[in-house]
Each structure stands twice: as C-alpha cells, then as structure tokens.
Structure 1
Amino acid sequence: MKIAKLYKKLTLANFINWFAMRFYRVAQIVTGYMIIIAINLNPRREIFQKNLDSLKINRVFFFRKVTLPYLSFLEGCKNLKAQIIFHKEGEVIELTLPKVINKGFKVNEAYACEAKLPDIYLAVISDAQIFVGTDLIIADKTILYDQINKDFFNRYPVKSPLIANVSKDNISIKWPLKSTKIKQGIHLPKDHAKNYFHWMIENLPRLSLVSELDKNIPLLVDGDLPAQFYDALAMLNQDNREIIKLSNNTLYKVQKLYYPSQLSIFHDSYDNPFYGKDAVYSPKAISYVRDAILKKIASPSSSTRRRKLYISRKNSDYRQLINSEEIEDALVARGFEIIFPEHLSFFAQVQLFSEAELIVGQSGAGMASFIFAPKDCEILMMMSDASQSNLHIFGALADSIGLSLKYILGKHINIKKSYINHSDFYVDVSILIKYLEDSNR
C-alpha cells in the first residue's frame, strides 16, 4: 500500500529515470566485483585492471577505512628495530638569492639561508605493506611517512588519494580489500609519481642508494605512469633489475622491503614558503640522474646547432600564461623552437635540452629536463608574482648543478581559491624582449 502511494506521487518519467540510475550504479558495482575476481584469478592480464579503472566506480566499495598512528620514516625504522644498512647525516647547504630580471623587484632576503638535506639511509623492513601512488608504508600497525610533519601537519596539502584524513597522531587511509604478496623488492612508489618533476627530481635519484644490493632484488614502481617515465627508469636501471609494476586499489604485502631514503625535498605549499624547508635539493642526487642519463645520449658535437627552446604549458589546465601567443610570436621571431615535452619521448626530451643554449619556459614539470642542459646554457623561467610562489623551486634546482637560471615575474590574475600560486598570470613581453636584446639573444 505504501509503495503504491509512493508511485502515485511520482510521474512515470521520474520513476523510470530514478530506477535506471540505480540499476546502472548497482550494475557497475557488480561488474567491478566480477572483474576483481578475474584479476585475482589471473593478475597478469593488464586488461582486467584497465577494465576496472574504466568503470570509474566510487572506490568506497573496494576499500575499508583504517586509522593508524604514524611516525617519520627514520624514526619508525628505529622504533621497529628495522635493519638500516647505512645511515649518513644530511648535509647543510647554502641557498642563495634567486635572480629576478624585473626592474625594481626586490627579492626577499630570507631566501638566502641554510637548509638541511634529508638524512641518507637504506632500510630493510620485514612484512611491510605498500600501495601505489604514495611513499606511505605500513609496518607492525604503524604508518611510516615523511610527507607530513607532526609540527606542522596541516601546512602541506595531502594529495595521495589513499589518505582519508590526518591528525597530529594518526592517519586514516583507505585500505584496499584486494591484496597480494611479494617476496622482496626495492620501494619506488611515490606521492605525485605521475608528475614528471617529482618522478625525475625526487624519486629516480633514490636508485643511487641501491647499487650494492643483490641484482636479483626487483624494483617496485607505480604501474600507471606515462611511457616516458619508464624510459627514464630504464636508463637508470644500470643493474637490469626486474621491474614490477604495481596496480591500483591493491594492498601489497612485501616480505622484505628495501627502502632507499628521499634525497631531496619538494613539498607542495600553498602558504608563504619556508625557504629552507619547502624546496631543498641534493646536488649529488641531481648530478647522479644528470650524469647517468647523459652518458646514454650522444654528446653534441662542436658543429651541432645550439638550440633556443621555448617550453610551452598550453596543454595544462591551470597556471596558464595568458598572453602566451604574444610571447611565442616574440620568441619565434628570434629563432626559438616551441616545444611540448609531453608529446616527446624521454630520449627526445633529453636530446633537445642537452643541445640548448637558451631555454625559456613557464614554471612547471616540463622544465625539469633543464637538468640535462649544458653548463653554459641560460634558463629564463616565467612565473607569477604571487607572494606564495617559491622561487627556490627551480632556482635552487639549477644552482644544485651549476646552471644559470633567472626569473621573469608576471602579474597573477584569475586567482584560484586557496591556491594563489597556481593562478594564471601575464608577462610583460617588453621585459622579455629587452632581456634577449641586452644579452644579444
């Protein structure tokens, strides 16, 4: 009787739409569980995981929420009495004032400061639990994680989709219902692994710490990265270790996990930057990647034309250069090539940057490959003048390997709520032209 009365309050069209949507959602969930069963029966069929991902189901149906205490990685290793193969105190380095070519712009003196690099260590953790897309691991019901600092845990945004929420003492994570076992492996999953900058500058240098390990120990990496990322990994995989690509929505139980520490620090910060903490790069780590990759690339001969490159961010959906066409016209007229790194193989990117005499571009991951440029190459970085912007992000990176980088700052507009340093911006083309003319470019 109640059902009949309810139906009378609905139009036939409304009821059909209501029923169809619920039927569709239930069908999606049932289909998802069926594919998960197929994955468990044959985990090597990558198409099964692709089919599951294509459903775009609300992942709450494949996770349960778990809350655990957390520690910094090194502190956690010591508390758990994990084996630490070696441990070196992090060095203190000097950060210098960034160079800005805008007339009258005064760089904050606080940029010139000391910064401590992370401690360097290689830890071995028994019965560890790891996930795709995050540095976070679990051992003995304790989370080990360096992306959150207990002293200012709410300063840096948490971007790992695995993390539900954070307090000063605990982290709640979305625990995958699906799990699989791995005997041993070297940990390389990473927060922001799909970002080229984080992959190249933070993650790949960790390989420099594992050269003395048994060559039969495989590398464990995120399994859904762009092809260029795996090409870069292959060039640095000098021991030809097996590479195991991890799947989404899966808990991996690793019997013996080797964890090479982070060598550089780059925290996302949407507040006024901590100049000595938010972007700190190890010169040895960056040089390791640079030197190892350039050895695989033919060195430009004396007759090779030195290139002038403009690195475009037109395909990005944020932090856009509003007058990019005006900038491009000015640069093309002066012999620049317009480059879209995301469309190039990793080898092609390195080759281009290694032949450059001048690189102009916007702040963004595509500029990370300037680490492969010749030491006499000049780099001009365009960035918004938002006060939350941190000029050490690229300035300190260039300094770490002895490259010359200068900034041209543009007026920020189209302000994003809470993310002013990701706002679009406008660069005065006359400043750019004057710089190129004064430097005879």
Structure 2
Amino acid sequence: MATGFIKVLKRKLNSAFYVALRLVNYYPYYDYLHGKGEKVNLTPEYELEFTPEEKAFLKACAASYSYFDADYALGHRQKELSLYKLKDVTFFSNTGVIKMGDKLIVESGMSVDRLTRCKAFRDFTVMWPHSYKNGIYTTIQHSHWADNNISLWFIDSLPRAYILSQTIKEPVTLLMWKGAHPYQKHTMEYVLKDSPHIRIKYISKQHRIRISNFYMPSFVTSSFSGYLPPAVSNWLREGVWNSYDIVRSNPKQRIYISRSKARFRRLLNEPEVIQLLEKYNFRVIWSEDLDYRQQIQTFFDAEAIISPHGAGLTNLLFAEKAQVVEFHQANIIKGRYMLLSKGLEFDYSPIIGTDGDENEDFTIPLEELNKWLNSRYGSF
C-alpha cells in the first residue's frame, strides 16, 4: 500500500515539475547540423536494391505502423558515414544528445521522432553543470532506450565507434554513462582497443556539460532499420567474436528462440510449432537462460534461426551464416531484422500470423512454416 502511494506521489510531483519547467521555457526546440562545424565524410551514401518480395514485406511493415518515413519499399538510402567536428556544445549525459545555442541537434538523437521522445526534453534531473574547455570529447551513447537493450546497443550505438576508429587520430575522450551494462562496457572497450588515443570516461547521468570541442559520429543506421554496411558489420562481428573467444570449429545447428518466458509477444501455438521443428532437428533455446558469451556462441554456430520478433534477434549479427525465419503478428510488423539480414546477406523469410492480443501474443500458420521447412530440408 505504501509503495503504491509513493509511486502516485512521485508521478504527481513529476507532473508538477514538468508543468513548471514548461512555463519557464525549459524545453528547447530542435535544429539540424547543416552549416555548423566541419564535416568529415568516411563513406558516400548509396541506395539499397530490393526484390519485389522484399518491397512487399517492407510496405506491409510501414502500413502496419502508419509511418511514411520508414516505408523502405519506396527506397532505403544508406547515409554517409560522417564525423562532425563541433564547437561549444552542451552534452546531456542522460541521453547523449547535444545542444548548440538554445536548440537540441536532431542528428545527435538519430531523428526528430526519437529526439522529441528523448528524456533531454523533459528530464529535470539533468541540472548539474560541468564545463570541459580543454581537450576533445565524443560519445556513441544513444538515449535512455539503449540502457540495457541489445538491439539499440549493437545496431544503433556501438556501430558509431567504427566511425571514430576510422577517422580520429588525435587524443579524444569518449563520454559514456557509468551505469552501462557489463556487456556494453566489455564490447565497447574491446572494439576500441586498437585506438588507445580514444580514452573512455564513465560519468553519471545527472549532468549537462559545456564542451568546447566535440566530435559527433553520425548514426550508421536509420530509424526502424537494422541495416549495417558490410564494412561496419564485419568490423563489429570480428571484434565481438574475438572479445568473447568464440570457438569457430563447432558443428552447425538449427535453433528456435522461444519467447515463452517473456511477458509479451509470445507464440500461442508454440507447442505445435516446436513439435514440427523437432522433426527437422531444431533445438529450442531461451536467450534469458544464457549468459552473453553463450548467446554469441549459440548464434555463431547456427545455420538456421527461427524466432518470433524480439530484441534477441539482434544476435543475428553474430551468426556466421544463417537462414532466418521471423514470426510477426499481423497488426505490428517490423522490418528491422529483415534489414539486418539484408546487410549480412542472410536468407530471410517472414511469416505473418494473426493480430496480436492485448499482450501482443499471436498464432502463426503452421502450413507456412511447414512449407518453408519442406523447401529447405525436404518433407517428412
């Protein structure tokens, strides 16, 4: 009872603070980097090509979400990989977002959509001022969503370290929040081990820091996309494999990733799915039962991966070469891992099920799965 009362009181106090901060124009507007600072381009932009089947799937993704910007059936542009050399910025340690003058910079939050949902717009705890006038600072941090989300870490955040490693030669301090998960610190420190001039400084999340010289790496990915250019994914894969001492001589296996222990997006006819998959020598795994090295090794050893949509599919990045089947609920279809598979040149097949219920739980058509299995491994 007391805990519930405290939660309600906190919500009311937060709401009152937000109203007060809005009245004094605490919330800044946003701006773009065009014409600001020096831009160093590492690679040019280019367009991806899709098959008719891929276009149809991506169009279904956009229709289920009603977001035009991510309708990649209309075309997917891989952005330039760039480093922006900026002067006099304010760094928000809770998000990694920066402000120049009185405006937040869109490119530091990936997109307008993500920036306007970012805590830098509303978090009154980021009050303690600091000033770094000497030296050069940078970050790969990407808002509060990547605090312990492997998808946002390995697809949105860590790839930015590739740009730093390829462009920066002088001493630079990389700012990262000190509460980062051990796997984040481990992978970040390892992929940058050959760049000793990039020093990592772990800081708290309660600061807005004035910085005289700031290098901002662009995001490699786009909103709702998991596509990574091969040069980036190869650099990242090799770094993570080596950091966890992955064994590369194990026999290949077929795996099904179950979400039965998750709180949502579970497969309602999973017993029937598993019964079918076991005929084709698929092994059932629960990612939450494995430590992170075991997850990486399991995916590296997989020649076929089947799973409902979920962040665990980020580990596709660490499969050596795999066929992928992803189950989607009909009313929320996401193309992130199709685009990740595209960049890795993996054979990818979506299977669309029923609409999800209030917990996003759904059923997939067994005949579609059986058809895919027969086409790869023959019929029983």
Please indicate, yes or no, whether the TM-score normalized by the shorter chain is above 0.5.
yes
Please give the alpha-carbon distance, in whole angstroms, between the structure 1 residues aligned to 2:263 and 2:251: 33
Q: Say whether the 8 Å CA contact 2:227–2:342 is kept in structure 1.
A: no
The residue aligned with 1:233 is: 188
Q: CA deviation at 1:411?
A: 0.6
The residue aligned with 1:256 is: 213
Helix, strand or coil at the partner of 1:294: helix
Q: Say whether the 8 Å CA contact 1:98–1:395 is kept in structure 2.
A: no
Distance 1:21 1:97, change over 3 A: closer
Whether 2:145 is the aligned partner of 1:190: answer no
Helix, strand or coil at the partner of 2:340: helix
The residue aligned with 1:209 is: 163
The residue aligned with 1:221 is: 176
Whether 2:121 is the aligned partner of 1:163: answer yes
Whether 2:377 is the aligned partner of 1:440: answer yes
Please give the alpha-carbon distance, in whole angstroms, between the structure 2 residues aligned to 1:368 and 1:181: 37
Out of 102, 116, 125, the position equivalent to 1:141 is: 102
Distance 1:60 1:120, change over 3 A: farther
Helix, strand or coil at the partner of 1:189: coil
Instruction: Give the letter aligned to residue 106 of structure 2.
Output: Y
Q: CA deviation at 1:398?
A: 0.7
Q: CA deviation at 1:87?
A: 6.2
Distance 1:219 1:435, change over 3 A: same
Out of 339, 359, 371, the position equivalent to 2:285 is: 339
Please give the alpha-carbon distance, in whole angstroms, between the structure 2 residues aligned to 1:68 and 1:383: 38
| 1:274-285 paired onto structure 2 within 5 Å | 281-285=228-232
Q: Say whether the 8 Å CA contact 1:197–1:365 is kept in structure 2.
A: yes
Please give the alpha-carbon distance, in whole angstroms, between the structure 2 residues aligned to 1:350 and 1:58: 40
TM-score, length of structure 2 as denominator length = 0.78
Please give the alpha-carbon distance, in whole angstroms, between the structure 2 residues aligned to 1:136 and 1:288: 25
Please give the alpha-carbon distance, in whole angstroms, between the structure 1 residues aligned to 2:308 and 2:115: 23
Q: CA deviation at 1:123?
A: 1.4
Helix, strand or coil at the partner of 2:362: strand
* Max Rg structure: 1
**RMSD of aligned residue pairs (Cα, Å):** 3.8
Gap regions ≥5 residues in structure 2: 61-70
The residue aligned with 1:380 is: 325
Deviations 1:137-164 (A, max 9, x none): 1122221013576xxx6x6795423324
Instruction: Give the letter aligned to residue 248 of structure 2.
Output: P
Distance 1:299 1:411, change over 3 A: same
Q: Say whether the 8 Å CA contact 2:94–2:207 is kept in structure 1.
A: no
The residue aligned with 2:65 is: none
Instruction: Give the letter aligned to residue 94 of structure 1.
Output: E
Please give the alpha-carbon distance, in whole angstroms, between the structure 2 residues aligned to 1:222 and 1:97: 43
Helix, strand or coil at the partner of 1:313: coil
The residue aligned with 1:389 is: 333
Q: CA deviation at 1:200?
A: 0.6
Instruction: Give the letter aligned to residue 139 of structure 1.
Output: M
Helix, strand or coil at the partner of 2:39: strand
Distance 1:157 1:313, change over 3 A: farther
Q: CA deviation at 1:385?
A: 1.9
Q: Say whether the 8 Å CA contact 2:126–2:205 is kept in structure 1.
A: no
The residue aligned with 1:300 is: 248
Please give the alpha-carbon distance, in whole angstroms, between the structure 2 residues aligned to 1:333 and 1:161: 48
Q: CA deviation at 1:98?
A: 4.6
Deviations 1:33-73 (A, max 9, x none): xxxxxxxxxxxxxxxxxxxxxxx98497699551333212x
Identity %: 18
Q: CA deviation at 1:404?
A: 0.9
Q: Say whether the 8 Å CA contact 1:383–1:408 is kept in structure 2.
A: yes
The residue aligned with 1:36 is: none
The residue aligned with 2:362 is: 425
Whether 2:356 is the aligned partner of 1:404: answer no
Please give the alpha-carbon distance, in whole angstroms, between the structure 1 residues aligned to 2:311 and 2:4: 40
Q: Say whether the 8 Å CA contact 1:95–1:396 is kept in structure 2.
A: no
Instruction: Give the letter aligned to residue 83 of structure 1.
Output: E
Helix, strand or coil at the partner of 1:265: coil
Helix, strand or coil at the partner of 2:175: strand
Q: Say whether the 8 Å CA contact 1:185–1:257 is kept in structure 2.
A: yes
Deviations 1:62-96 (A, max 9, x none): 99551333212x32xx24xx233446542222233
Q: CA deviation at 1:189?
A: 1.6
Instruction: Give the letter aligned to residue 161 of structure 1.
Output: K
Instruction: Give the letter aligned to residue 234 of structure 2.
Output: S
Q: Say whether the 8 Å CA contact 2:90–2:98 is kept in structure 1.
A: yes
The residue aligned with 2:46 is: 91
Q: CA deviation at 1:122?
A: 0.8
Count of aligned positions? 354
Distance 1:96 1:200, change over 3 A: farther
Q: Say whether the 8 Å CA contact 1:294–1:372 is kept in structure 2.
A: yes
